[in-house]
């Protein structure tokens, strides 16, 4: 899990290091699927048909069902447990003989590489546990990116207790989605995505997964809220009170029709356990990402090429707009929008024939639009509507995250100087050494200018920067972009989210040129 706020927003995954895992994931729960249902599930897979709820449980009235047992029994064969293995190096702690500091024997043991020598890094095997679900008879499996990130080996355990190795087809850290593939001689029972937009607050939902490594488990609840935004640009979460715990990450959230309307991802908790506030990335977001990962092995999002902000009532009044909806263009760097004639000060009110209410809506619609195809954008300029035809670029290329023509990933900065800090991208090995979750993203403070503002504010080497300007950062470019945005907005400082020994705190650093 990776905490994202002082209120402990945690990803619902389980991490254990070494052989003494201390979790009961080796326990095998009793299987409640009857042989008849198992046979029906296999026949459905052979016929390339998704599993679904029995007709008598598909209530449209919203009345609480007498039991969820039939639904659980029907869809469970498509839910999987995921175990990942990776090798990380950790400094020895309390291993080998102990010598007084400065003893010549200390150097002797270190020089000859005896196991447990003080200061020696020792490889250890790290295991992470999570959940997932099958979406096709030929073995495609959806889970969270943080469940499998950095893994050397991935093993899938099916409800039948059969296990198969999996390979990664593609990942999308921005929505925390990963697509896996297993090879099986037999068709595999699978489930289908439903329309998450049709889910209403108060609808019954069912969460299946592998909580706390206990194996297949079901919990029920309702949709508590919709359209939750946690920390990402493309966030669209369903909030639910169905019990979600560590290990549920990547598992499905079902509606009463047996359709997946969400992927269980995170919980809000003061103690690491479920308190009835869980979040599932909506199926309408996940399904689009999965489709691109299947087709290309990566995401291909549209890119408009503008910097924007929401239109406030005061701004709308000052510009003579009839409403405060839309997205105000604050800058138009070189890119598709500039080529189409868009100007700073334009207010985008429609994109692709659909009304734009705020910047979040615009960002999501642009991302979903096809790359390289023209789209009509309606802007308000000097009180008059103007229609522009913009041929969208690709966001991943603009951000430098897409694969180049040779098929190699664009190189990431290993370190850089920003605001008096020397920063490096957080790697799984660093995460292990710093005692944070393997899936955490951010920048490690490697060194500081002792007379700089960062040092004055109490930032230290080893601190991890996970957010800036209330947005996540995973690269030096991300941080620099947030700093540039703060300067362009006329702000004197940028708010950083710092993690030290897992504990978060905010620090405002000056961004004056």
pLDDT tens digits, 314-331: 778 777 787 778 898 988
- Work out the average pLDDT over 198-222: 92
Span 328-344, pLDDT tens digits: 898 888 999 999 999 98
Does residue 336 sit in helix, strand or coil?
Answer: helix
Q: How far is CA 428 from CA 312, 352, 432, in A?
A: 42, 41, 6
Residues 198, 289: one domain? yes
Residue 186, CB-side half-sphere exposure with 13 Å CA sphere: 12
- CA 302-304-310 angle, 5° bins: 115
**Which of these ranges, 162-166, 207-211, 435-439, has the smallest mean pLDDT?**
435-439
Write down the pLDDT at residue 215: 82
241 is in an annotated binding site: no
* Higher-confidence position of 28 and 481: 481
Catalytic residue, from 126, 131, 136, 146: name it: 146
C-alpha torsion sign, points 179, 185, 189, 192: positive
Span 355-412, pLDDT tens digits: 999 888 899 899 999 999 999 999 999 889 999 999 999 988 887 766 543 344 333 4
Q: Is 176 a catalytic residue?
A: yes
Q: What percent of the chain has pLDDT over 90?
A: 39
Write down the pLDDT at residue 6: 37
Residue 148 has which token pair? Answer: 């499998």
Residues 273, 213: one domain? yes
Beta bridge partners of 158: none
In terms of DSSP H, where are the helices of 207-352? 283-296, 313-319, 336-339
CB 238 within 8 A of CB 223: yes
Q: Which residue has the tokens 């999996």?
A: 166
271 is in an annotated binding site: no
Write down the pLDDT at residue 417: 82
pLDDT at 71 over 80: yes
Q: Which of 249, 264, 296 is the last residue of a domain?
A: 296
pLDDT at 413 over 50: no
Catalytic residue, from 131, 196, 219, 249: name it: 249
119 is in an annotated binding site: no
248 is in an annotated binding site: yes
Residues 376, 435: one domain? no
Write down the pLDDT at residue 118: 54
Residues 338, 286: one domain? no
* Higher-confidence position of 65 and 382: 382
Structural domain boundaries enclosing 457: 415-510
CB 366 within 8 A of CB 354: no
Q: Which of 268, 296, 324 is the last residue of a domain?
A: 296
Chain-centroid distance of CA 150 in Å reads 14
Residue 152 within any structural domain of the chain? no
Q: Which residue has the tokens 């393997």?
A: 438
* 3 pLDDT tier (thresholds 50, 70, 90): very low
Residue 158 has which token pair? Answer: 């099916």
DSSP symbol at 167: E
Catalytic residue, from 172, 176, 241, 478: name it: 176
Residues 332, 348: one domain? yes
127 is in an annotated binding site: no
* Higher-confidence position of 64 and 458: 458
The count of other CB atoms within 10 Å of the CB of residue 27 is 9
What CATH number is given to the structural domain containing 365? 2.30.42.10
Residue 20 within any structural domain of the chain? no
pLDDT at 190 over 50: yes
* 106 pLDDT tier (thresholds 50, 70, 90): low
Q: Is 249 a catalytic residue?
A: yes
The span from the CA of 459 to the CA of 67, in Å, is: 53
pLDDT at 88 over 90: no
The span from the CA of 190 to the CA of 184, in Å, is: 13
Beta strands per DSSP E along 79-231: 79-91, 121-134, 140-143, 153-157, 163-165, 167-172, 177-181, 204-209, 217-228
Residue 176 within any structural domain of the chain? no
Residues 266, 308: one domain? no
Residue 424 within any structural domain of the chain? yes
Residues 267, 318: one domain? no
Residues 287, 333: one domain? no
Residue 92 within any structural domain of the chain? no
Write down the pLDDT at residue 114: 53
Residues 307, 285: one domain? no
Non-local CB neighbours of 189 within 8 Å, separated by 6+ positions: 41, 42, 44, 45, 51, 77, 78, 134, 137
Span 258-301, pLDDT tens digits: 999 999 998 887 777 778 899 999 999 999 999 999 999 999 99
Residue 157 within any structural domain of the chain? no
Q: How many domains does the chain have?
A: 3
**Furthest CA-CA distance within the chain:** 82
Q: How far is CA 417 from CA 66, 424, 447, in A?
A: 61, 9, 9
The secondary structure element, H or E, covering residue 361 is helix 359-368
Q: Is 8 a catalytic residue?
A: no
DSSP, residue by residue, 27-78: --PPP---HHHHHHHHHHHHTT------GGG--SS-PPPS-SHHHHHHHGGG
Average pLDDT, the chain: 81
Q: Which of 396, 428, 447 is the last residue of a domain?
A: 396
Residue 93 within any structural domain of the chain? no
Residue 1 within any structural domain of the chain? no
Write down the pLDDT at residue 411: 38
Residues 498, 455: one domain? yes
What CATH number is given to the structural domain containing 232? 2.40.10.10
């Amino acid at each position: 899990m990776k905490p994202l706020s002082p209120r402990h927003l945690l990803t619902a995954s389980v991490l254990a290091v070494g052989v003494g895992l201390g979790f009961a994931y080796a326990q095998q729960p009793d299987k409640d699927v009857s042989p008849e249902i198992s046979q029906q599930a296999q026949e459905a897979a052979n016929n390339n048909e998704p599993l679904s709820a029995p007709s008598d449980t598909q209530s449209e009235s919203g009345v609480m069902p007498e039991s969820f047992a039939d639904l659980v029994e029907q869809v469970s064969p498509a839910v999987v447990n995921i175990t990942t293995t990776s090798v990380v190096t950790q400094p020895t702690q309390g291993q080998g003989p102990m010598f007084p500091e400065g003893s010549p024997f200390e150097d002797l043991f270190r020089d000859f590489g005896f196991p447990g020598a003080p200061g020696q890094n020792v490889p250890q095997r790290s295991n992470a546990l999570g959940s997932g679900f099958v979406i096709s008879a030929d073995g495609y499996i959806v889970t969270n990116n943080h469940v499998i990130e950095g893994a050397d080996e991935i093993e899938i355990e099916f409800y039948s207790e059969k296990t198969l190795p999996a390979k990664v087809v593609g990942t999308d850290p921005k929505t925390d989605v990963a697509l896996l593939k297993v090879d099986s001689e037999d068709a595999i029972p699978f489930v289908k995505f439903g329309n998450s937009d049709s889910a209403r607050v108060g609808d019954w939902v069912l969460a299946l997964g592998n909580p706390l490594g206990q194996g297949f488990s079901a919990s029920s609840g309702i949709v508590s809220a919709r359209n939750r935004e946690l920390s990402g640009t493309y966030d669209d979460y369903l909030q639910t009170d169905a019990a979600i715990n560590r290990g549920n990450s990547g598992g499905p959230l079902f509606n009463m029709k047996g359709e997946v309307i969400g992927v269980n991802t995170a919980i809000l908790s003061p103690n690491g356990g479920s308190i009835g506030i869980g979040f599932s990335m909506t199926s309408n977001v996940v399904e689009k990402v999965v489709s691109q990962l299947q087709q290309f092995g990566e995401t291909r999002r549209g890119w408009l090429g503008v910097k924007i902000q929401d239109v406030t009532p005061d701004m709308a009044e000052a510009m003579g707009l009839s409403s405060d909806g839309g997205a105000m263009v604050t800058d138009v760097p070189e890119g598709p929008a500039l080529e189409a004639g868009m100007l700073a000060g334009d207010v985008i009110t429609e994109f692709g024939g659909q009304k734009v209410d705020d910047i979040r809506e615009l960002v999501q619609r642009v991302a979903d639009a096809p790359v390289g195809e023209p789209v009509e954008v309606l802007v308000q300029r000097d009180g008059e509507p103007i229609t522009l035809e913009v041929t969208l670029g690709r966001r991943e290329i603009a951000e430098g995250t897409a694969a180049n023509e040779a098929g190699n990933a664009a190189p990431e900065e290993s370190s850089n100087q920003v605001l008096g800090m020397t920063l490096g991208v957080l790697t799984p090995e660093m995460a292990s050494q710093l005692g944070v979750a393997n899936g955490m993203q951010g920048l490690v403070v490697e060194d500081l200018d002792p007379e700089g503002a960062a040092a004055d504010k109490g930032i230290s080497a080893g601190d991890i920067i996970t957010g800036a300007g209330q947005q996540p950062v995973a690269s030096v470019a991300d941080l620099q972009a947030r700093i540039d945005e703060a300067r362009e907005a006329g702000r004197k400082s940028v708010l950083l989210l710092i993690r030290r020994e897992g504990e978060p705190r905010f620090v405002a650093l000056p961004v004056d040129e």
